[in-house]
């Protein structure tokens, strides 16, 4: 979650160029309420099933996946990112 402020900055600057979706794997929380309380303006959802994390091969949290416009996985990161790293990886799909 430490990268969320960086993500928000990029969404505010370039949010019309890409879609950002965050998915929580914590079944005890309310991702939409969390996003609203932090002033985060992208979509948040919840995965209540470990099968989804297994399907995507998520080995750590946070995990960020970059898909191009055709739906092809282009890049992924396990762990946090700086704004600069997020923008560099985002540039690969824009």
CATH code of the domain containing 27: 3.40.30.10
CA distance 47 to 9: 25
Residue among 49, 48, 77, 45 nearest 63 (CA): 77
| Per-residue pLDDT at 48 | 67
pLDDT over threshold 90, residue 46: no
Residues 60 and 79 sit within 8 Å (Cβ to Cβ): yes
Question: Tokens representing 12?
Answer: 């505010």
pLDDT, tens only, 4-26 = 999 999 999 998 999 999 888 77
**Residue ranges making up the domain that contains 11:** 4-89
pLDDT tens, position by position, 22-40 = 888 777 788 889 899 999 9
Q: How many domains does the chain have?
A: 1
Q: Rounded to 10 degrees, what is the CA torsion of 2, 28, 21, 47?
A: 130
Classify residue 38: in a domain, yes or no: yes
Query: What pTM does this model have?
Result: 0.82
């Amino acid at each position: 979650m430490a990268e969320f402020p960086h993500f928000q900055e990029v969404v505010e600057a370039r949010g019309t160029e890409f879609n950002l979706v965050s998915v929580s794997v914590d079944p005890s929380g309310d991702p939409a309420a969390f996003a609203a309380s932090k002033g985060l303006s992208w979509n948040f959802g919840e995965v209540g099933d470990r099968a989804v994390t297994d399907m995507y091969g998520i080995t750590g949290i946070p995990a960020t996946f970059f898909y191009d416009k055709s739906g092809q996985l282009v890049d992924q990161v396990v762990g946090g990112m700086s704004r600069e790293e997020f923008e560099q990886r985002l540039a690969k799909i824009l």
